[in-house]
Chains A and B, each alone.
Chain A
Amino acid sequence: MVARTLDITGLTCPMTWVHTKLALERMAPGDALEVRCRPGEALESVPRSAREAGHGVTVEGTTIRIVVGG
């Protein structure tokens, strides 16, 4: 399993999800992506978009952990 990190603290919607989505596209099923974001909109919408795309999501503070396909 590969773990990657992505910092989207400087981005606003929809670029938060665009960069997260593109990062996820480059990863294999089972890999994990840790996304650091600001409190607020991204912390609400990025987990929801990731779940809708079929990924596993957990949130701790302002870090979103996304497991590809699972």
Chain B
Amino acid sequence: MSNSRRGFFRELASAVASARDATAEPGPPPPPDLTDEEIARYSRQLVLPEWGAAAQLAVSEASVLVIGAGALGAPVALYLAGAGVGRIGILDDDAVELSNLHRQLLHFTPDIGAPKAESAAAKLRYLNPGIVVEPYQVRVEADNAAALLEGQDLVVDCSDSFATRYAVNAACCAARVPLVQAGVLGMSGLVMSVKPGRTACYRCAFPVEPQDAPRCADAGVLGPAAGVIGSLQALEALKLLTGVAPAIADGFLQVDLAAAEFLRVRVRRRGDCPDCGAL
């Protein structure tokens, strides 16, 4: 895919979405034809009023990096592959363990011991052979994040540590790559979309790491809770790629699944934010 076309279909999809009610305005140029197989495969999203050929082409032209092939990364990668995102990078340096299987839906019992990135990529290729899946067996650190973001249209951070989330946020802000952040513990979690330089970033929302922040290994997580949060992340990714609906930006969605409560929390950009303040 050439860089010159990057974003063209996303802008086209946004134009189509925003012009749906403005029938007096001349419409955007017609997008290229979808194949019969693509029409059949994606028919249940193509039939949506908000979706259409332009949105489908926008996702098919997109490159998305999913950081983490675990509890959040599984639903994210599955839904993005199913939706037809053209290139999915899936990044994880761990191997599949027995204790992963209750919540990490991309890995099965015979996969124990296999690299998670490879195990995930194999399933995603079965799901949708029409897309490109690239597994990366690396851990995101502050010093390699920028290189990993090269050529990506969107990053979905499905990592399980504050250190990784801060590193990913900083790198996405520096490269101005849109980002979907999330976290899940127990039966609760949060989801936040970031458009660097335009909306509040993860560091704006959480300037310092909470001192009492529990870790998954300490606190545990129920599989369906991770499934809900990861599904919300996937939905945010599709919104950001196509513009068919507003993303959860300038704030985050706090999800308490024990109480069955969703709370939208507003966040303002911070002028002194070390990650996005200078953008």
Contact = CB atoms under 8 A, between A and B. Distances in A.
B81 interface: no
Given A18-B39, A21-B52, A29 B46 contact: no
B53 to A, nearest CB: 5
Contacts of A70: 23
Given A14-B47, A53-B49, A22 B34 contact: yes
B26 A21 contact: no
A68 B16 CA distance: 14
Contacts of A52: 49
Tell me if B's interface is mostly helix, strand, loop or mixed: loop
A25 B39 CA distance: 14
Most chain B beta-carbon neighbours within 10 Å: one of A19, A22, A52, A53: A22
Contacts of A39: none
A49 B34 CA distance: 21
Interface in A12-64: 14-15, 17-19, 21-22, 25-29, 52-54
Contact of A26 (B26, B30, B40): B30
A14 B43 contact: yes
A3 B31 CA distance: 19
Interface residues of B, number: 20
B43 A15 contact: yes
Contacts of B49: 52-53
Contact of A25 (B26, B43, B47, B53): B53
A25 B23 contact: no
Given A18-B39, A18-B43, A25 B34 contact: no
Given A14-B44, A54-B23, A19 B52 contact: no
Contacts of A29: 23-24, 26-27
B46 A22 contact: yes
Interface in B45-67: 46-47, 49, 52-54
Contacts of B52: 21-22, 25
A25 B44 contact: no
Nearest to A20: B47
Given A25-B52, A25-B54, A18 B26 contact: no
B49 to A, nearest CB: 7
A62 B20 CA distance: 28
Contacts of B34: 22
Contacts of B27: 28-29
A4 to B, nearest CB: 12
Interface of A: 14-15, 17-19, 21-22, 25-29, 52-54, 69-70
18 contacts: A14-B44, A15-B39, A15-B40, A18-B39, A18-B46, A22-B39, A22-B46, A25-B52, A25-B53, A25-B54, A26-B53, A27-B30, A28-B27, A29-B26, A29-B27, A54-B20, A54-B23, A70-B23
Given A19-B39, A54-B20, 18 more contacts: A14-B43, A15-B39, A15-B40, A15-B43, A18-B39, A21-B46, A21-B47, A22-B46, A22-B52, A25-B53, A25-B54, A26-B30, A26-B31, A27-B30, A29-B26, A54-B21, A54-B23, A69-B23
